[in-house]
Amino acid sequence: MDLVGVLCTAHDDCLQEALDTLGRAHLKHYEGSGPELARRRLDDLFDLVLECLAKKTLGPICEYAQRVAEERFDAGFDIAEVQSGFNVLEEAIWHVVLAQLPNDDLLEAAGLVGTILGAGKDALARTWVSLATSRHVPSLDLTALFEGGAA
């Protein structure tokens, strides 16, 4: 199985599909920054997926996700917006993998791609939660639920 080769060949198609899907989601910060920046961010993430596949390592995607979480948290993004970037790229990759790899290679490809993007999403979420719990964030203030007794 040459998953890296298949994805390299489908690079532009994957990015365009992911960008189109992201555009249909109408996410505030992504729409505000424009399609060129969104494409550049998706391209960076795609390149990291390829790097992790080629080197069989999760370090680069985890480091990237932590950095992105910090930057986007400070910029006021909602975590769902940032997770959407990972999700739309993963969906585009699956379309390529399912269409171009033989059935015998799908299980291994699923494990590799799922593990890499899953590790990135996990690092993103852990960093985000850490940032949110170390600062007062009104959307995470649950004290009102526990005031005044049972409803």
Query: pLDDT tens-digit profile of 22-80?
Result: 878 777 766 667 678 888 999 999 999 999 999 999 999 999 999 999 999 998 888 88
pLDDT-based confidence at 11, cuts 50/70/90? very high
Q: Where are the domains of the chain?
A: 3-134
State the pLDDT at residue 58. Answer: 97
Q: Are residues 50 and 6 in contact, defined by beta-carbon separation less than 8 angstroms?
A: no
* 3-class state of residue 10 by DSSP: coil
Beta carbons of 40 and 98 less than 8 angstroms apart: no
Helix 35-55 and helix 59-74, axial crossing angle in degrees, nearest 10: 160
| Class of residue 65 by CB neighbours under 10 A (exposed 0-12, middle 13-18, buried 19+) | buried
The residues, any chain, with a CB within 8 Å of residue 121's CB and separated by 6 or more, are: 65, 83, 86
CATH of domain 3-134: 1.10.490.70
Contacts of 85 (CB under 8 A, 6+ apart): 18, 22, 30, 38, 41, 42, 45
Nearest to 58 by CA among 114, 107, 129: 114
Enter the pTM of the model: 0.82
Can you give the pLDDT at residue 101? 93
| Closest residue by Cα to residue 20 from 121, 118, 89, 83 | 89
Sign of the four-CA dihedral 96, 99, 100, 106: positive
pLDDT confidence bin for 143, thresholds 50/70/90:
low
Task: Return the minimum-mean-pLDDT range out of 15-24, 57-66, 113-122.
Answer: 15-24
Average pLDDT over residues 74-102: 91
65 neighbors 78 (Cβ within 8 angstroms): no
Give phi and psi for 57, each to the nearest 5: -140, 155
